[in-house]
Structures are given as structure tokens and as C-alpha cells.
A and B are shown apart, each in its own frame.
Chain A
């Protein structure tokens, strides 16, 4: 895989974002705290980040969240858009290590790394970035935004950890099978 932004990445960013936007509505309600249901789309974000790298991940988080908010809610909560890009970029950063498309994500070592990255990046995004931006932009009460952030954090690590991991393992075991042929060096 080349380091630059090729055709595959352009299309993955485009269609991945479309899928992310469509799934904005596929939420699994968790508790009655505003804007904190289990976001199924986060699993998709994690999947695309892990397969196509940090640019696609950050792009889907950024454009997908802003567009999804705009189309379905008529407003954009910028303070929650940027943290989503952080999660995408962080997971995408380890894309080569996960080796999802090469069939390498069936190993326990890679899955554990993925779950660790998942927890750390979500912690940075929802316990640090989102509340700070909420306070900077909307001047919302400190304790409220941190409680919201905590809910988002647990919701997201749960959905990415379970659904995201399952998706990646399944895809990796399918796409890995066809890689019996090796390119000559």
C-alpha cells in the first residue's frame, strides 16, 4: 500500500462517509442522556480507519459527522465533530499493523492492539477533546459535559470493541483467503 492518497482511498472516503451518514439513524438507545446512544456508525468508522488508514478515518469522522448532523438534525455540533476525527485518525494510524485486508486481523495480538487503541483514542476524544470544545464553544457547565463525555466514551468503546472487532475479524478472514498468490519481489 502506498503512503499517499490514491484512488482506492478517495472512493473509500466517499462511500465510507455515505455509509456512516446513513447509519447515523441506526442507534441503539442506551440511557436518557442527550446524544448518547450506542452509535453503530462508530464501528463503521473504526472499520474503515483500520482498513484504509488515518486520512480516510479522520475524513469519515469529520465529514460524516458534520454531514450526518446537518442532514438529520439540521445543526452541526462542531465540538463533537472533531473528536470523531481524532478516533478515526488514531485507529487508522495503526492500519498497517492490523493488516485487515491481508488477513492478519485474525491473530489475537492484533485484536488486543486494536482494543487498546480503541480505548486510548476514545478516551482522548470524549473525555478530553469533546468536553473541552463544548466548554470553549458553548460554555456549557463543566460537570455536564464531562458526564456526557463519559457516556460517549463507554458507549463508543463498547460498540467499537464488540461490533467493530467482529466486523474486522469477519472481513479479514474472508479477504485473507484470496491472498495465496504472492507478487514476485
Chain B
């Protein structure tokens, strides 16, 4: 089974920040990355991301599997962009400088390379923030943080339940899969498409039905304990915001505003070095 990123308890400045701060940072960071296409800002984001990654003391082993998966995806994606539209960069930057003619209608240009480089680092800026968020945030603190930024507590609680039950359901998935394989049902990628769907169904059916039972049990238990009777609730693992949290929040907001100003100052989200 593939590797998952999970929380690890440590004592770094990043771990000490409250979950609320990290969630806010994560959302603002994603938003910043989505809105800008300015190469300079994207590079700055990568540097900051790498620095926080270093401070948070994330071990390479924890994230390497996932990192390789995302790299693999990005390489395929970049190759695809080139084959579907080899002159996208020329359109964006309004100029064309050929490097080498490849074949047929495909010519490698500096603009295309630069454009694909931008797409690459744009994906790349999000990755450290996710690693850091998942590795340094205690799942049980997440619900209280979400509630803190104004998400209704029922939704926050649902999120908490999700994180609590992912390992359980994963266990069950493996159990059922092993049992079905022992009964001789082929799970590899051989066979026709319809057979493969049928074989997958052999896992999904029992898994889904046991999940429905679990929902019944858990919701009955919660009902018995009076969940949802009041408008508000308190959280066991909520932490008050400290000075470091306020500084981190101020930095996230400030950086977002700065990026927007730098990006849109010239009326265009692209940084164009070709003019």
C-alpha cells in the first residue's frame, strides 16, 4: 500500500503554533499560489516553504514516497501540456524565440520552457505547505481550529471523525481485500475492464455495508450523549493564540497582500522577462 503522510509529535516552533494558525496559513498560502503567476513571487514562496519545512524538522522519510508520486504526476502533466499546446508560452508572453526544431509542428521555444517552468513551480509551492500542515498539526486540534475560523462545529466535528476513522477503514479495506484474494478473486490489473469493476465491487460491497453500520453505531452513541443540542461547544484540545501565532498570522496575511500587489501591479498576472 502506498505511503500516507501523518502527524508526528515533535517540539519545534512550528509544532507549537496553534492549529488555527496553521490552517489559516495553509488556506492563504494555497490562495496566494492559485492567484499569482508571477515567477519572482513563486520563487520566493518556494524559498519560504523550504525554510519552514526545515524549521518544522520534517524527516525526508516521512514524505519521500508521496513526494515522488507528485513529481511523477507533474512530469507527465508537463509533457502533456507540451504535446497539446507547444506554443502556449508564446501566446502568454507575446513573443517567440526558437531553441530547436523537434519534429512536425513541434518547436521548442524559450517562452514555452519558461511557461512550463512556471506551472511546475506553481504546483511546487503548495507541496511544502501541505507536508508541514499534515505533519505538524495534531488531528484532534484540527476540529477546534476549523471551528475557530467560523466553520460550524458540526462540520468541524465531521472532519474530526474523518481523521479518526481513516486508519480504521483502511484496516478494514485490507482485511476484506485479503479475504477476497484468499477466495481467489483477482485484484491485479489483469483482465477486462468489466471484470476489474466486478472484482473491485467484491471489496466495495462489504466495505460499504460495514461502513453504513458503523455510521449507525457512532451516530446512536453521539445522540445518547446529546451531541448537537447546544449552539456552541468547547474543545478539549483548543489552544489560545500566543504572540508567535499572531506574528505568523500577520505574516501570512501580509505576504498574501504583498504578492497580490507585486503580481497585479503591471495589470497582468504573468511576469514577462521577454519584453
Binding site for B on A (CB under 8 A): 5-19, 21-23, 25-26, 28-30, 33-35, 38, 40, 43-44, 47, 59, 63-64, 67, 70-76, 78, 137-144, 147, 159, 162-163, 166-167, 170-171, 174
Contact = CB atoms under 8 A, between A and B. Distances in A.
A18 B85 CA distance: 38
B84 A141 contact: yes
B105 interface: no
B70 A13 contact: no
A139 B37 contact: yes
A7 B229 CA distance: 10
Nearest to B73: A34
A18 B30 CA distance: 23
B92 interface: yes
A173 to B, nearest CB: 12
Given A34-B73, A74-B67, A75-B127, A138 B122 contact: yes
B208 interface: yes
Given A26-B203, A34-B73, A34-B76, A63 B159 contact: yes
Interface residues of B, number: 70
Interface in B166-207: 166, 168-170, 173, 189, 193, 196-197, 200-201, 203-205, 207
B165 interface: yes
A148 B157 CA distance: 35
B-side binding surface: helix, strand, loop or mixed? Answer: helix
Interface in B115-159: 119, 122-123, 126-127, 130-131, 133-134, 152, 154-155, 157-159
A26 B67 CA distance: 19
Interface stretch (B17-25, B213-221, B231-239): B213-221
Contact of A40 (B63, B70, B162, B200): B200
B8 interface: no
Contact of A28 (B161, B166, B196): B196
A7 B162 contact: no
Contact of B30 (A7, A44, A76, A166): A76
B160 A47 contact: no
B58 to A, nearest CB: 11
A34 B76 CA distance: 7
